[in-house]
Amino acid sequence: MTTAAPPRAPETGSRSAPRAVPAWRRSLRPYVLSVPAVLIIVGILYPFVLGAYYAFLNYEAVVRRPEFIGLANFTEILSDPAFWTSVRVTFVYAVVATVVETVLGVGIALLLNRSSLIGRIFERVLILPLMIAPVIAGVIWSLMFNPQWGVLNHVLGLGSTFDWLGEGTAIWSAILVDVWIFTRSWRSSCWPGSGRCRRSRSRRRRWTGRAGSTCSAG
């Protein structure tokens, strides 16, 4: 004959009930959380508005009291040939660098997607730009471009007469450096959409489905 165990008394925990948050604190919380965003917006808008205001003044170091001159500054800069030269150089730089980086990034991503010896070699070599910051890479390339003791002129046999940063070659040297630094970004953005990742996701889905069916059967 078995006797039933007496019912156990409910355990009384040592934790106290959470205190209710006052209504004024709940109403103040959204404003406190929005303070960093407001500071960032003010820090961005204030210099922008101040610069736009100065654009309509003859603000110079020698002028103590700048005066309002309207659109005179814009008229002067739009009539300056140096401004349109800068626009042309910027346009060529942006278009050529973007096109070359896109083509190389997609091509390298497709090459790395194939399980071949060349793909594995490229995968190891392309790790180098990822480990170098753009500022440090710019300094290294400037040393390599030096016409006197730069390594590029020595390796290519150009002597000390070819100036990589001259008047006609500076833009193409800058595009070369930009492509070397930022092609990795295009390669990284294209590679996750390649077939290798799709195969990995399909294998992961199959494994998850198989594990789920096993658990439901058990």
* Greater model confidence, 112 or 75: 75
Lowest-pLDDT range, 77-86, 122-131, 142-151, 157-166? 122-131
68 phi, psi to nearest 5 deg: -75, 125
Would you put residue 118 in left (φ > 0), alpha (ψ -120 to 50) or beta?
Answer: alpha
pLDDT bracket for residue 176 (50, 70, 90): very high
pLDDT of residue 208: 45
Q: Which residue has the tokens 């009291």?
A: 65
Start and end residues for every CATH 1.10.3720.10 domain found in the chain: 81-202
**CB neighbour list of residue 59: distance below 8 Å, 6 or more residues apart:** 66
Distance CA 148, CA 159 (A): 8
- Whether pLDDT at 108 is above 60: yes
- Whether pLDDT at 144 is above 60: yes
Query: According to the CATH classification, is domain 81-202 in 1.10.3720.10?
Result: yes
**pLDDT-above-70 percentage for the chain:** 70
Among residues 70, 78, 97, 73, which one has the least CA distance to residue 177? 97
pLDDT in tens, 71-94: 998 999 999 999 999 999 999 999
Q: For 194-200, which contacts have Cβ atoms below 8 Å and span 24 or more sequence positions? A: 194/109, 194/110, 194/112, 194/113, 195/113, 196/113
